[in-house]
Structure formats: structure tokens, C-alpha cells
Amino acid sequence: MSVLRKHYLKGYTARQIVQRAMKIIPYSVNVMDEHGVIIASGEPSRLRQRHEGAILALKENRIVEIDSATANQLKGVRSGINLPISFHEQLIGVVGITGEPEEVRAYAELVKMAAELVIEHMVLIEQRQWDKRYREELINQLILRENSTESLRSMAAYLGIDLAVPRVVLIIELSQPDREALRNVMDYFENHARNHLVTFTEFNELIIIKPITLKEGKWNTRQEMGELQIFKSWAASSGFSRILVGGYFAGETGLHRSLLTARATQAMAKRQKLRSQYIFYHDHALPALLSGLSESWQVQELSRLWLQLAQHDAKGVLQQTLRTWF
């Protein structure tokens, strides 16, 4: 999946180059795009003019020096030095320093280097922004869609995320979130847990798609406690409340089901006023499933069947078996 187009030298980036260069040298600086048009300049009146010196520098991919005598013969040109700038071996524009060549020559390579560093920095920022958008979109598709799509698989491949890795959905509730604390939480996952997919669904709620380890196809939830406690420590400044852990389900719809079970566990925990800070769906599957059926005909029917069972189970063996099973 291609995110960044080949137009690396944009207006904002060009203006950044001019501003930074003119802070360190006493000469006007111009930036021309791949067509030789001035898109940023220390002299605003020159904007959008075609610069013949830049066109020559682009055409021949070389430094073009222009003295006063030559400048008088060219259109839109003043004396100075024009240096082609490249990114990823692609010629993308020209940076020019206005002044007599013998005066500005000493600054030429410095300005070119600064320009290419600014471009690299701006492209990196844009890349991160695109990555963030794609990660958020991937999360939404993984947990909200009931089936996989080709675009989802392509997006995951672009981000370097292996969809075959088993994962579950966690909901972290925050009682006192603030902007700085939330930024710190996101920075933690960005820098220390990149294999986790994280998003905010509400201001006080964080959803995490967390990789897990299976042994013989089964998930040991107790082994997760150490990492969950780390999550708690990072979320403490936002008033960590609790973590609700959905079930693990294989297949393309697994994460969607994991989210549904995490939500069901959350609703059950609120209804029953559970105080535990770590609540696993697998430990409360039956009440979690029934919590969404409140006041419905399904609950009435289940209650009727349960009473029938209880009447024929004086020792409570069958009832305990069902509780253990679910």
C-alpha cells in the first residue's frame, strides 16, 4: 500500500526550509518545485514565478551558479547559486541562495543539507500521521466488522501486523483522564508495545487489541496478569479504574466476538458492582451473557428452565457443574 506520493516538496515544507535557512545565513533563500516554480521565498514578490536557473539545475541535475551579468539575460532570475535537492534518490526541487556566487558559495552545501533534513523530517511526520490513521482504521475494522476484507488484510500487511497472531480485546476504564496523561499512555504503546493496537472509543475508555500466547490451542488467562499490571501502572495517572478482558475466539470474526464479550463483561460488572480491577470474560461467562438479556423473554425462559433443574437437583451437583462449565 502506497501512502506517500512522490510530491515530497510541498508548500509548507518549502516555507520551513526558507525560514530555517534564513535564520543561519544573511541572504534570501528560495525553494523551487520540480517544475522550477518558486513555492517559497525570502522575497514573497517572487512566489509562483518560473526560475530559469532552477529549471537548468533540474534538467542537468547540477549546481547552477548565476552572476549578475548572466541574471540579466534570464527570466525570473537573480544572481546566486541554485542546488538541486533529492529525496530517496528522486530529484524533487531546487534550493537557491540569492547573492553573488563568490559571496554565497560557502553557504551552499550547508543550505542544501538543511533543506534535505527538513524534507526528511516532514516526510517522517507525515508517515507517522498516515500510520496512525491506518492503525485506527485497522482497529475499527477488526473489532466492528464481522468478516475480514482484502483492504483490511492489505492495511495490516502495510503496517507489518500479522493477523494470524491470536489476540483479544481489552477495555481499560479511566476515572480521571486528562490530556497529558492520555498522551503518556499512547506514547507507552507507541514506544514499548507496538504489537498492541490501541484506540480511544470515549474520553474515559481505552480499547486495546492485545496479542496472547496459546498453549495447545488454549489461553491461560492467569499468565496475562503481569502485563495487565504494567498497563495499570501506565494508566494510573488517568485514574485507572479497571480492565475488562474479552474472550479469545479463533477465526476472522474472533476479535469482533472478543469485543462483544468484553462489552458484555463490562455491563455485567457494572450491574453487579464488581470491585475487581481485572475482570475476565472467561471467569464470568454465564452472568456476562445473561446481563444483556435483562427483562427479555430469554431470561424468563432460562429462569424457568433453571428452576426445573433445581427441583431435580437437591444436592446442587448439576447446578455447580453448569456454573463451572460456563
Q: Once rounded to an integer, what is the mean pLDDT over residues 277-283? A: 90
- Which pairs with CB-CB distance under 8 Å and at least 24 residues apart come from 254-257? 254/166, 254/167, 255/142, 255/143, 255/167, 255/168, 255/169, 255/209, 256/142, 256/143, 256/144, 256/145, 256/146
Among candidate residues 34, 38, 44, 43, the one with its CA nearest the CA of residue 9: 34
Number of neighbours of residue 52 by Cβ within 10 angstroms = 18
Q: What is the second-level CATH architecture of the domain 11-117?
A: 2-Layer Sandwich (3.30)
For the domain spanning 164-292, the CATH number is: 3.30.70.270
Report the DSSP beta bridge partners of residue 65: 81
Average pLDDT for residues 136-152, to the nearest whole number? 78
214 Cα distance to chain centroid: 27
Percent of the chain topping pLDDT 90: 38
Each residue of 185-231: pLDDT tens digit? 777 777 777 788 888 877 788 899 999 989 888 888 877 887 788 77
- pTM > 0.75: no
Delimit the domains of the chain by residue range: 11-117, 164-292, 296-326
Among residues 116, 102, 96, 112, the alpha carbon closest in space to that of 51 is found at 96
